[in-house]
A and B are shown apart, each in its own frame.
Chain A
Amino acid sequence: MMPGYRKHTVHGYAIDIGGRLWVYAIWAVTIWFVVNLLALIGSVVVSSFSTRWLRSWFPDGLTLRWYSSAWAEFQLGEVLSTTFTVVGAVVVLAGLLGVPAAYALARRDFPGKRWFMLLFLLPLMVPPVTYGIPLATVLYQAGPGGTIWGVILANLVPTVPFVILVMIPFIEQIDPRIEAAARIFGASTPQLFIHVLLPILAPGILAALLLVMVRTIAMFELTFLTAGPTSQTLVVALYYSVFASGVRAVQSIDAMAVIYMVITLIWLLIALRFVNPTQLVSRVKPSNHPT
């Protein structure tokens, strides 16, 4: 692609001992971080399979019973179905509300557009607890608080703006003449959306919604504030299980945490297959050849 560029960089470092040490230092820090991270995950995974693990390098024995008991003890089936209902509803609603709004904001100029943008930026800039507490109060007064609908509504607050802000650059990079052409041939707005824009925008929408999914699975504060006993998602159920740790064995909590990790990990890996993480905020990858 750019052999000269790469060679030059390498050559530049080769004559520069300070620069070389700097590169080694960066690698050392990165490897230190990754090794400790993997060991940390490893210790939880090992613990979740262990019979007893105190004061030694490795547990006394291995067992699978924490996983089978986690299923019964935590009503994991119920919690998982709640989690997937919430996440599914949030993803669908955030997409349905966010994408058309992003289209309007990317394509049209209207008075007060700056305030619109600010309104969609603020929920991402304010800590979830700040609006979560008044929001939970309002939701409890209005009815949906403590139900699965309250959890879904609360989770829409950060995700709809997220979809909008991720989608605007994607939409702006589409040539408006494509839409103009469709209009000339008589496409109505719904037709334009379904037959022209949706196929072009599909990668961007997919990326945004997969990230919404990962975010919603992990969203603790808002779900915690609005969920009732029957509407807990996995992350909140997990938190409560730690609080009842007098009753629960550490290994049992670890088994739950591993189940949580595997679920999110699967979705993140799927997301990373479709989305180049470096393209999250940039519009297009800078072309390597001058155009």
Chain B
Amino acid sequence: MGFRNRLPGRKLAHRGLSVTVGVQAGGTTLLAVPAFLLMIALFVYPFIYGLLLSFRPKVGHWLANYQIFFSDPFLYDTLGKTFALAIPVTCLSLLLAIPVAMRVRLMQRQRLLTTLLVLPLTLGTVLVAQGMLGYFGPQGWFNRTMMDLGLLLSPVKLTHNYTGVLLSLLITGFPFTFLLTLSHVTGIDPALEQAAATLGARPASRFRYIFLPLLLPGLAMTFCLSFVQAFSVFPSAVLVGEPAGATRVISIAAYHAAFEEYDYSMASAIAMLMGAAQLAVVVLVLSLRSIVYRGPSAGGKG
């Protein structure tokens, strides 16, 4: 009885599903339309507008803005300076995040440590900047402690230069990188490592042959997302850096063009170059990933 009742029910369920797909497909798909329109209006349209605007310079022919950018060292150096900050910061936080995440994974009570490591998310750039200036400054606790311990003879300059911005970006960027890495690491089935360990693989080779291949897709994504954050560095480059010199990053140049010279065309050109540089890195990292690793990209997450 029950069996006979269930069978048509199932058929019905299947039919119901196919009916849903067939008739309601339009209706449900329409749910994505508001978000889609919003993106068109607030992201695609301004982007195209900015791109076109960048080809309509105040003076000169249509490529004049780009010509100025690449002929003026004060402008084109900003691109190099941004990369010189963003790449080390991203690599360092990733290289720190992987081993720490691998340890945290084994801990029973991860919550306290995770919360401590994620704490900088709440600080805000200004607090980090103020803290950097106070704590790492020449009269700050860091230099005092180091000198009292005899590790330093004179205070080391850690603020208002490249190092200051690097450290501040590392403090604000690490939590995000760590969170993403941790969630990728914990997404890998522990049974795989267990199997390797049973077969006598040492921790180093377990990491090399089990974890790394499974982690690579996630790490490539993490790299990209962390890189965006470091690449758009603006407040910390101004507050703890040397905004006229070593840490004049590209977003400062864009802001300067837009809101101090009121040359929106030039500002858009700089913004477009910034986006292009950023996307070039993303494409490079994602294609490197597909060269290095050709397995299923899900990485045991599904």
Contacts and interface: CB of A to CB of B under 8 A. Distances in A.
A12 B106 contact: no
A218 B127 CA distance: 12
Given A122-B43, A137-B264, A34 B117 contact: yes
B17 A176 contact: yes
B39 A119 contact: yes
B291 to A, nearest CB: 20
A65 interface: no
A214 B121 contact: yes
A105 B134 CA distance: 48
A248 B179 CA distance: 36
Main secondary structure of the interface of A (DSSP, over half): helix
Size class of the contact patch on chain A: 35 or more
A57 B141 CA distance: 7
B116 interface: yes
A54 interface: yes
A283 B125 contact: no
Interface in B233-255: 234-235, 239, 251, 254-255
Interface stretch (A70-78, A84-92, A198-206, A249-257): A249-257
B189 A286 contact: yes
Contact of A126 (B128, B228, B268): B228
A261 B130 contact: no
A-B CB proximity, top 3 nearest: A134-B50, A127-B232, A101-B35
Interface of B: 12-13, 16-17, 19-21, 24-25, 27-32, 34-36, 38-39, 42-47, 49-51, 53, 96, 99-100, 103, 106, 110-111, 113-132, 134-136, 139-142, 144, 171, 174, 179-180, 182-184, 186-191, 194, 197-198, 202-204, 218, 224-225, 228, 231-232, 234-235, 239, 251, 254-255, 258, 264, 267-268, 271-272, 274-275, 278-279, 282, 300-302
23 contacts: A2-B190, A12-B197, A13-B203, A30-B117, A33-B96, A34-B116, A55-B139, A104-B31, A119-B43, A123-B43, A125-B228, A126-B278, A127-B231, A127-B232, A127-B275, A131-B43, A137-B50, A176-B17, A218-B121, A224-B234, A277-B179, A285-B186, A290-B191
